[in-house]
Amino acid sequence: MTTKLPAPSRWWHIMPIVFITYSLAYLDRANYSFAAAAGINEDLGITKGMSSLLGSLFFLGYFFFQIPGAIYAEKRSVRKLIFLCVLLWGACATLTGLVSNIPMLIIIRFTLGVVEAAVMPAMLIYISNWFTKSERSRANTFLILGNPVTVLWMSVLSGYLIQALGWREMFILEGFPAVLWAFYWWKTARDKPQQVSWLTQQEKDDLDEIMVNEQKNIKPVRNYAEAFKSKNVILLCAQYFCWSIGVYGFVLWLPSIIRGASNMGMVETGWLSSVPYLAATIAMITVSWLSDRMQNRKLFVWPMLLIGATCFLGSFLLGADNFWLSYTLLVIAGASMYAPYGPFFAIIPEMLPKNVAGGAMALINSMGALGSFIGSWVVGYLNGATGGPGASYIFMGSALFVSVLLTIIVKPNADKESAQPLPQAA
C-alpha cells in the first residue's frame, strides 16, 4: 500500500476552481437578503409574509433536485452537470434584476434553487474522487469556504452597489460572472485523476491505490435504498436539517436584523454583516486542519454547534439595548455554525462505500435544504409578526441545540468496525 500522498499539485489545480464555482453559487443565492433590506418589497408590493416565502423559495427547488443531480454526477459526470448548472444559475440571477411582478420573482427564485441543487453534492463527489481520507476535511472546507468568504465580500459590495445603483443593478452585475465562469470550468475541470495531463502516470496510479485501499475498510452497501435506511444517515439528515435552520435563517436575515436594531444605512449594514463571515473563515480553516490531523470528525462538530446555539440565546437575552455586545455574540455564533462543515461532510464518505456515498450526501444535503427553507421562512415570518428578532433567536438557537444532541448520538465508526475486507481483484 502506498503510504505517502502523491501529487500535492492537486490542491493548486483543483481547489481554486472548486472554490470559485461554489463562491459564485453562493453569491447568487444570498444577495436576495440585501435586496430585501434595500426595498425590493416596497418596489414590487411584496407583503411581509410573501417576503419570507420568497426568501426561502430557493431552498424548495434546491430540496427536490438534490438526489437526481447527485446520482447523475456519481454515475456519469460532475464536469458536465456543473457546467450546465453554472450557466443556468447565472442567467436566473441576472434575470432577478429584471423582474416586474411577484409571479415572475417566484418562478426565478424556485428555478434558481433547482439549477443550484446539484452543486453541493456534485462538488463533494468531485472532491472524493481527488482527495484521500487524510485530506478530505480540509478539501471540503476549501469548497464550503466559498460560502462565508463570498458573503464576506458580497456584504460590502452589495451594500455599495445598492446605494450607488439600486437592487436591480446589483442582481444583474453579480449574476453575469457565473455565465462566463461556466466556460472556464468546462475548459479546466476533469472528473477523475486519470483524465488529466498534469499528473504523471505513477502519481495517478498511486492515488488510485490509496482510494481503493480506503474502501476496503468500509462495510459494503448494495444500493441507495439500503444506504438511506442506515441509522447514521437518518440521524445525519435530521441533524443537518436542524443545523441548517440556524445557518440560513442567520444568512438570509442578518442584514435586516442588524439594520432594524441599529438604524444604520446599507453600507454600514454591509460592513457589519461581513464580520461574522470573516470569523467563520478563520474558524473553518482551523477546525478542518485539526479534524484531519486527529482523524476525529464528531469532536469538531457538536462542540462548535453548542457554542453557536449558546451565543444565539445570549444575544437574544442581551437585547437591542446592548447592540454591540449582542452583535459580538452573533459574530461568534456565525463563526461557530460554519466551523464544522469540513469535518461533517468528511463523515459520509468514510462511513459509506463509494457506490452510495454521493447519493447519501445528496439526501443529507437535501434535508439541509428543507431546513434552510423552513428556517429562512419562519425567521422572516417571526421578524415580521413580532416586530423584532428575539423570537427568531430562540427558534434558531433551539434548532441548533437539537442538532448538537443528534450529532452526539451518531456513531460513524459502527459500520466500519463491522466491515469485512472486500475480495481482492484477480
Contact by Cβ (8 Å): 403, 246: yes
Helix ranges (DSSP H) in 191-301: 201-215, 224-228, 231-262, 266-294
Return averaged pLDDT per consecutive 10 residues of the chain, 426 residues in all.
66 93 81 77 79 74 85 90 93 88 88 88 91 88 82 77 86 90 95 92 90 84 87 94 82 64 67 81 91 87 92 76 80 89 88 86 89 78 76 83 94 54 38
SS3 165: coil
Total Cβ atoms within 10 A of residue 336: 26
- Sorted by sequence, the CB contacts under 8 Å of residue 321 that are 6+ apart come out as none
**Euclidean distance between CA atoms 339 and 336, whole angstroms:** 5
Cell 435504498 appears where?
225
**Euclidean distance between CA atoms 32 and 408, whole angstroms:** 34
Contact by Cβ (8 Å): 58, 109: yes
Among residues 211, 21, 67, 69, which one has the least CA distance to residue 132? 211
Could you write out the DSSP letters of every residue in 11-53?
Answer: HHHHHHHHHHHHHHHHHHHHTHHHHHHHTHHHHHT--HHHHHH
Burial class of residue 303, CB neighbours in 10 A (0-12, 13-18, 19+): middle
Contact by Cβ (8 Å): 393, 309: no
| Amino acid letter for position 260 | G
Q: Which domains does the chain have, with CATH numbers?
A: 11-196 (1.20.1250.20), 223-412 (1.20.1250.20)
CA 29: distance to chain centroid?
11
Dihedrals phi, psi of 219, to nearest 5 degrees: -60, 130
- Sorted by sequence, the CB contacts under 8 Å of residue 412 that are 6+ apart come out as 232, 297, 298, 347, 350, 351
**Euclidean distance between CA atoms 341 and 345, whole angstroms:** 6
Grid cell digits, residue 197? 495531463
Helix axes 302-318, 231-262, angle to 10 degrees: 30
Contact by Cβ (8 Å): 140, 292: no
Query: What pLDDT is recorded for position 160?
Result: 84
Contact by Cβ (8 Å): 31, 94: no
Query: What pLDDT is recorded for position 257?
Result: 65
Query: What pLDDT is recorded for position 17?
Result: 94
What does each C-alpha distance from 2 to 193, 210, 229, 276, 293 come to in angstroms?
A: 16, 6, 34, 41, 19
Among residues 351, 329, 165, which one has the least CA distance to residue 254? 329
Burial class of residue 265, CB neighbours in 10 A (0-12, 13-18, 19+): exposed
* Length of the chain counted residue by residue: 426
